[in-house]
Structure 1
Amino acid sequence: MYRRSKKYQQLRAKVAKSIAAREQKRIEGANEVEIPPLLPELRKKIEITSFDMGEPITITFELFKSDRIDCYKVFVNGKLWKKRIGLSRVLEGIRKSLPRHSSLV
């Protein structure tokens, strides 16, 4: 068996003490249970106002809580669009539904 130097023994004692303190802290904190905050029903609201056709047209996307944390139930102008869809797909739908218009000049 190898001999341990005094410096190495002091280091081992310091590490053992910190491990014991961390374990004690974990045991004391085990009684405290963190309850995550409840998410609101309406999570996000996106309003798009288009001034291209003479009079302003406003389209409202309302993203409600769904059964998954990273998905939404989406209503467009009050009508259900998708029951469960992610934010990137919502933004893709916005991009595709607003086509480019040629300039009138």
Structure 2
Amino acid sequence: MRRYRRTNKHQQNIEQSYSKRTQQESEPNQGYEKPTQLPKLRRIIEITDFDAGEAIVHRIEQFKAARIDCYDVVIDGKLWQRRITEVGT
């Protein structure tokens, strides 16, 4: 197996990149902000039904569940289903 000699310039570039990387990793992230706590009530969907002659409003509320891609669903104040997965996933 044949090895090629590294030039001084190439070796300096490698050393600079390693030193920059260690310096960046040792510095704390100045612009980092901790994400805010998500509210328990995540979404409200209101459906107005006009088929009965008068307006009937159904309220669907999606609450935070243990998993980030799931919701506890309450329809008109009654628990419908726990840990329903997000639509579209």
TM-score interval for Structure 1 and Structure 2 normalised by the shorter chain = 0.7 to 0.9
C-alpha displacement at 1:42, in angstroms? 0.5
Query: Gaps (5+ residues) in structure 2?
Result: none
TM-score under structure 1 length normalisation: 0.65
Find the counterpart in structure 2 of residue 101 from structure 1: none
TM-score under structure 2 length normalisation: 0.75
Percent of matched pairs sharing the same residue: 44
Compared with structure 1, are the counterparts of its residues 53 and 15 closer, same or farther at alpha carbon in structure 2 (3 Å cutoff)?
farther
Q: Tell me how many residue pairs correspond in the alignment.
A: 84
How large is the Cα RMSD of the aligned pairs? 2.4
Find the counterpart in structure 2 of residue 88 from structure 1: 87
Find the counterpart in structure 1 of residue 5 from structure 2: 3
C-alpha displacement at 1:12, in angstroms? 4.1
Cα distance between partner residues in 1 of 2:40 and 2:33: 21
Query: After superposition, where does 1:26-105 map in structure 2 within 5 Å?
Result: 26-29=25-28, 35-88=34-87
Higher-helix-fraction structure: 1
Amino acid at match of 2:6: R
Find the counterpart in structure 2 of residue 16 from structure 1: 15
C-alpha displacement at 1:88, in angstroms? 1.3
Query: Gaps (5+ residues) in structure 1?
Result: 90-105
Bigger RCO of structures 1 and 2 (CA < 8 A, at least 6 apart): 2
